[in-house]
Structure 1
Amino acid sequence: MTLPTILLLGTCDTKLPELLYTQSRLSACKTLIIDIGRNASTDPSISITHADILAHASNKESISHLDRSDYITALIPHATATVQTLFQEKRIHGVMGIGGSCGTALATALMRDALPVGFPKLMVSTMASGDVGPYVGETDICMMYSVVDIAGRNRVLETVLGNAAGAISGMASFYLSKMDEDESAAEGPRIGISMFGVTTPAVTRAREYLEEVMPGCEVYVFHATGSGGRALERLVQEGVLDAVLDLTTTEICDEVVGGVLSAGESRLCAATKRDLPRVVSVGACDMVNFGTPESVPGEFLKGENGRVFHHHNPTVTLMRTTREECAKIGKVIAKNVRGDGVKWTRILLPTGGVSMLDVPGHAFWDPEADEVLFATLEDELRDIGIPVIREERQINDPDFAVTAAEMLRQLIEEHRAK
């Protein structure tokens, strides 16, 4: 059986002994050490040197004179291209990095930018016990806290590095065994669906219906928490998904109004660029997300009109979107679904309510605000060639979910026929 190859990332000017120890714990694998340090190292154990990384750079001057921030910025694009080539040539089956703050920033940037979701990635870091969001992003990087600083070998660090070596070895072996299987054609389409707690019934019924009427399809559900939307966009961009049922576009509310669960300004754009079969709705566009009640910005608590809030749980506070905000949200959705020659997108509007809270008798029921959202989408997309269809049911009505899923199924079949 072919042994998996692990790419070890580290700053060899400061972490080479620890990298070499990790390499010794990977006896069941082949290894390549790549030097992403600030000062070039000439140790013969290094497989990919600074000179290799910068071989195609227009300016091959040493980066050691740069300050830490500039050196990281300068090295990342060249190191990313190097790692991408190793992946594309199928020469590596897992990647592991070790480092402090700078090494973590560098190594995880390479993992995010050079390697797809699903490729084994593990980072042993002094930064892993805090907020790892900036390092992980929307990817599947595993973060392991080093407990002690990576500054000289000792029993604690060697145990952590040994455990990490075992973990990446297992992941890479599994990845290698699945490579041929993953490259075979899928039985049915791979469909992404966006979901929030307040649209769960709709997503559940739509998923069930698609699995019933399209045997062999794979449904991927994304929690619309910012990172979920970014992951959906990434997998569309990487070609992992063939169609999208974007029932829950609430992350755009947070982007427009200033909530904490924005997926960025390019939400919806990946499927627009690829022109995939897609049905888009406005699930949970009645709300903006904040943390605890104390975290809500003061600007939303001032004035006589006051905002409508709902305490979803002790750490999640929801704020109802206003008519003015709904108009802005509608314009952003319309802008992001438009594209040159976009043909396979449909917009489906649940006029009976866009979430569990936006129905008669519940906290966010505001048909006037919803109407602004619906009318804005209709106005912005009129004569663009993207149909906007009103459906009188509320979003979590099982019949609405089936209508949306069936609309997507028809688009998928028509797209395949073309």
Structure 2
Amino acid sequence: MSRKPVVCLAGTLDTKGVEYAYVKECIERQGVDVLTVDCGVMGEPSFTPDVPSSVVAARAGVELAEFAERKEGADGRTRAVLKMGAGLGVVLQELLAEGRIDAVLGMGGTGGTDLLSPAFRGLPIGFPKLIVSTVGSGNTKPYVGSTDLTLMNAVTDIAGLNRISLLVLANAAHAAAGMAKGHEFAQSQAGASKPLIAITMWGVTTPGVMRMREHLERDGFEVIIFHAVGEGAGMEALIDGGVIDGLIDFSLPEILNHWNKGIFDPEIDRMEAAIRTGIPLVVVPGALEAFNFGAIASIPVEYATPERYVIEHNPNISSLRANKDEMHRLGEYVADHVNRAPGPKAVAIPWKATSNYGGAGSQWEGLDLHPMLDPLVGGLDKDIEVLQMDANINDPAFADAVYGLFKARWEQSLAAKE
């Protein structure tokens, strides 16, 4: 890097200028430059920013003056957050495209985090992004989404400097400075040299995934594993972004979690990205019949019924089983999505158990999979290869067979490109 690394400090420099000035000083003491972007609409900034709030507003197609007229009203505040956040997103993308920034840092309460987080989330995976937030110890999913945005708990409100906030904000400044210094190195380490294959995994499908990972890495692939606890949303975003070259969708409990608003709800309809992109695909109904809530005592009363065969996965996670209507719908859902995927594809069915929950001696041993797997197999287009084995999903022979299906799909995709 021919220039010094640069941290972009973005936020409301009118209401939180003292805190931003302190963080700016901390970063510069680490030998890192700072580029400031003002998103404030309440008054003049405490110090002159590199990008004024008028520019941020203009990038969102509005005049900064319009916010002053309604700054006391709730509707005005909401509009200011949405518009200034949108403008900040454009500014950050411009600065990134120009190669002017190596990390981004912001601070705020609920409103500030609402303003900053969508803009930060729009930056690519791997670009350092950190928000010191008063919501950092709560439900962070609305702010982080499926990205690698880091939320740091502010502990105190972002409202002045005191013996606690001085420590927290200094740590955030030093963290951002370190990430900016290391960004170029991190990029060099993550250079794409091998095809990147995604596999979805759950705790009770882990042995099969680990065996396939060994095969893939032996044969020159890079493997990225997604824990099916809502991270499927991030995987689908990376598929849409062209980062992932192939997919073994081996664990699908997020579908039923989405339908029943379980704790592992990805908040999207899973299996859609492969339809949009046509990457080589093998689908296995791993844990398709399962969904989750927290500790057993937290299960909503409508789900705490005998037909759910509740399992205490651990003290903080309970697993529930699909009913027969859901099982039928799940089979139809998977078949429909496989049918609509335009790339090379195949399906593998383990008839003994779709997870270790159904293995010998386990809690769901003997589960009749026909209500789910019959509509899946029967609903597939006739030209789709379907491997069916009298096996547990984690049996080595089944994992080997699934890998064989994928390798054939991969070779088919390469042949189509020639």
Q: When the two structures are superposed, what TM-score results if normalisation uses the length of structure 1?
A: 0.90
Preserved contact between residue 14 and residue 46 of structure 2 (Cα < 8 Å):
no
The one-character-per-residue Cα deviations of 1:278-305 (angstroms, maximum 9, x if unpaired) are 1111111132211111111211335xx6
State the partner residue of 1:77: 86
State the partner residue of 1:206: 212
1:42, CA displacement in angstroms? Answer: 5.7
Counterpart mapping for 1:281-296 below 5 A: 281-296=284-299
**Aligned partners of 1:185, 1:48: CA distance in 2, in Å?**
34
Unmatched runs of 5 consecutive residues or more in structure 1: none
Partner amino acid, structure 2, of 1:211 = E
1:196 aligns with 2:202: yes
Preserved contact between residue 40 and residue 50 of structure 1 (Cα < 8 Å):
no
SS in 1 for 2:356: coil
1:360, CA displacement in angstroms? Answer: 4.4
Preserved contact between residue 358 and residue 365 of structure 2 (Cα < 8 Å):
yes
For the structure 1 residues 169 and 56, does the alpha-carbon distance in structure 2 shift closer, same or farther, using more than 3 Å as the test?
A: closer
State the partner residue of 2:165: 157
Counterpart mapping for 1:47-126 below 5 A: 47-60=50-63, 62-64=66-68, 65=70, 66-112=75-121, 114-126=122-134
SS in 1 for 2:14: helix
State the partner residue of 1:8: 9
**Aligned partners of 2:188, 2:317: CA distance in 1, in Å?**
43
1:331, CA displacement in angstroms? Answer: 2.6
Preserved contact between residue 295 and residue 316 of structure 2 (Cα < 8 Å):
yes
Preserved contact between residue 249 and residue 284 of structure 1 (Cα < 8 Å):
yes
**Aligned partners of 1:21, 1:206: CA distance in 2, in Å?**
50
Question: Percent identity over the alignment?
Answer: 33
Preserved contact between residue 233 and residue 268 of structure 2 (Cα < 8 Å):
no
For the structure 1 residues 380 and 36, does the alpha-carbon distance in structure 2 shift closer, same or farther, using more than 3 Å as the test?
A: farther
**Aligned partners of 1:353, 1:250: CA distance in 2, in Å?**
14
1:130, CA displacement in angstroms? Answer: 2.3
- CA RMSD for the aligned pairs? 2.2
Partner amino acid, structure 2, of 1:397 = D
State the partner residue of 1:377: 376
**Aligned partners of 1:56, 1:301: CA distance in 2, in Å?**
50
SS in 1 for 2:37: strand
Counterpart mapping for 1:242-253 below 5 A: 242-253=245-256
Counterpart mapping for 1:172-321 below 5 A: 172-179=180-187, 182=190, 184-186=191-193, 188-212=194-218, 214-215=219-220, 217-226=221-230, 228-302=231-305, 306-321=307-322
**Aligned partners of 1:179, 1:324: CA distance in 2, in Å?**
48
**Aligned partners of 1:30, 1:141: CA distance in 2, in Å?**
21
Partner amino acid, structure 2, of 1:138 = S
State the partner residue of 1:349: 349
**Aligned partners of 1:193, 1:141: CA distance in 2, in Å?**
22
1:330 aligns with 2:331: yes
Partner amino acid, structure 1, of 2:67 = I
Q: Which moved more, 1:151-160 or 1:61-70?
A: 61-70
The one-character-per-residue Cα deviations of 1:125-178 (angstroms, maximum 9, x if unpaired) are 222222222222222222222232221223332222222111111111111234
State the partner residue of 2:413: 415
Partner amino acid, structure 1, of 2:294 = G
State the partner residue of 1:36: 39
Partner amino acid, structure 1, of 2:241 = E
Preserved contact between residue 277 and residue 345 of structure 1 (Cα < 8 Å):
yes
1:127 aligns with 2:126: no
**Aligned partners of 1:320, 1:300: CA distance in 2, in Å?**
10
Preserved contact between residue 331 and residue 377 of structure 1 (Cα < 8 Å):
yes
For the structure 1 residues 394 and 150, does the alpha-carbon distance in structure 2 shift closer, same or farther, using more than 3 Å as the test?
A: same
Unmatched runs of 5 consecutive residues or more in structure 2: none
Partner amino acid, structure 2, of 1:346 = A
SS in 2 for 1:90: coil
For the structure 1 residues 323 and 179, does the alpha-carbon distance in structure 2 shift closer, same or farther, using more than 3 Å as the test?
A: same
SS in 1 for 2:15: helix
For the structure 1 residues 301 and 25, does the alpha-carbon distance in structure 2 shift closer, same or farther, using more than 3 Å as the test?
A: closer
The one-character-per-residue Cα deviations of 1:23-65 (angstroms, maximum 9, x if unpaired) are 1112112221112223364666212223222335444362342
Q: Which moved more, 1:56-65 or 1:292-301?
A: 56-65
For the structure 1 residues 206 and 2, does the alpha-carbon distance in structure 2 shift closer, same or farther, using more than 3 Å as the test?
A: same
Displacement over 4 Å in runs of 4+ = 56-59
1:306, CA displacement in angstroms? Answer: 3.9
Partner amino acid, structure 1, of 2:351 = T
**Aligned partners of 2:63, 2:111: CA distance in 1, in Å?**
22
**Aligned partners of 1:18, 1:287: CA distance in 2, in Å?**
47
1:96, CA displacement in angstroms? Answer: 0.5
How many aligned positions are there?
407
Partner amino acid, structure 2, of 1:414 = Q
